[in-house]
Structure 1
Amino acid sequence: MADDAGYYSIRFGADPVQLAFFRAGLDRWLQGLSWPEEARVDAILAVSEACTNAVKHAYVGGVPGDVEVVGRLVAGPSSRQIVVTVRDEGVWRPDQGATGYGMSVMNGCMDRVSIRRDDAGTTVTLRSVPVPLPHSSPEGMAAVE
């Protein structure tokens, strides 16, 4: 749920059915930011891929846990980006010869993608491509890092 224009957060059970609700909320947040359509679709696709991976792989064979998604808006003098983290508390499983295209999709849709794995789970951080500032800047934007 979006607390203000510059922030988005949701936590949902690692259940494939929940992915549709998550995507709808992310889309509403980006539309509220007047995010350009092509960049909005790319961001939804990339973040959805990260969430799908968490739902499908993080809790295999165990008790399903949660997926947490936190997005924030960062702005500079002439452009803005979103930074979204997708976190699970599951166990990382190395690729066993799978032919998935998840990383390719995320890297193709976003400016930067990083993955951190530790005993607490996996965190995927996605930074969008820069997009132009809107005519009137939303409140709550952080400075570009």
Structure 2
Amino acid sequence: MADDSGFYSIRFGADPVQLAFFRAGLDRWLQALEWPEAERVDAILAVSEACTNAVKHAYAGGVPGDVEVVGRLVAGPTHRQVVVTVRDEGVWRPDHGEKGYGMSVMRGCMDRVSIRRDDAGTTVTLVSVPVPLLGAPDGSGLAAAE
């Protein structure tokens, strides 16, 4: 579920078909926030990669579970960012030498990426690059610092 108040949340079954629906919802949320296009595409790519990893790897060989995605808008005095967490309740499995490009993609598209693994599953936290605040009085896209 997305809204223009700065929050996004969805929980879906770890099924590759569900990834398309999730991406569309994330895109609508970012568009409602008037996220700049290049940064919007980067955020969707990075979050999609984290979700794809959860779908493909978290529940391998076991009963498929869910993937939860929660996003929030964080605004500072001169910029704003989205912070998105992707969480699964599966088991972390080493890649056994199969090195993909997922982490490189996520890190290349976002300002910060962190991964926490424990007995409850895996949580990936992605923080977007800063973008200008909306509605600046000087036309720069930045609101004046108070």
TM-score (norm 2): 0.91
- Rounded to whole Å, the distance in 1 between the matches of 2:72 and 2:51 is 17
CA deviation map 1:39-95 (0-9, x unaligned)? 000000000000000000000000000000000000011100000000000000012
Instruction: Show the 5 A alignment for 1:6-25.
Output: 6-25=6-25
Partner of 1:143: none
- Rounded to whole Å, the distance in 2 between the matches of 1:45 and 1:4 is 21
Q: Check the 8 A contact 2:81/2:127 in 1, yes or no.
A: yes
- Rounded to whole Å, the distance in 1 between the matches of 2:27 and 2:2 is 11
Q: Check the 8 A contact 1:81/1:128 in 2, yes or no.
A: yes
Letter in 2 for 1:62: G
- Are residues 1:40 and 2:40 paired? yes
Give me the CA root mean square deviation: 0.9
Partner of 1:132: 132
- Rounded to whole Å, the distance in 2 between the matches of 1:4 and 1:101 is 32
- Rounded to whole Å, the distance in 1 between the matches of 2:129 and 2:107 is 11
Matched residue pairs, number? 136
- Rounded to whole Å, the distance in 2 between the matches of 1:25 and 1:3 is 10
Query: Higher Cα Rg: structure 1 or 2?
Result: 2
- Rounded to whole Å, the distance in 1 between the matches of 2:99 and 2:127 is 24
- Rounded to whole Å, the distance in 2 between the matches of 1:64 and 1:133 is 40
Greater RCO, 1 or 2 (C-alpha within 8 Å, sep 6+) = 1
Partner of 1:108: 108
Q: Check the 8 A contact 1:5/1:32 in 2, yes or no.
A: no
Partner of 1:55: 55
Q: Counterpart of 2:17 in 1: which secondary structure?
A: helix
TM-score (norm 1): 0.92
Q: Check the 8 A contact 2:67/2:86 in 1, yes or no.
A: yes
Letter in 2 for 1:26: L
CA deviation map 1:90-141 (0-9, x unaligned)? 00001211131000000000000000000000000000000001117xxxxx
Q: Check the 8 A contact 1:5/1:29 in 2, yes or no.
A: no
Structure 1 gap segments, 5+ residues each: 137-145
- Rounded to whole Å, the distance in 2 between the matches of 1:2 and 1:27 is 9
The runs of at least 4 consecutive aligned structure 1 residues that moved more than 3 Å come to none
CA deviation map 1:17-40 (0-9, x unaligned)? 000000000000000000000000
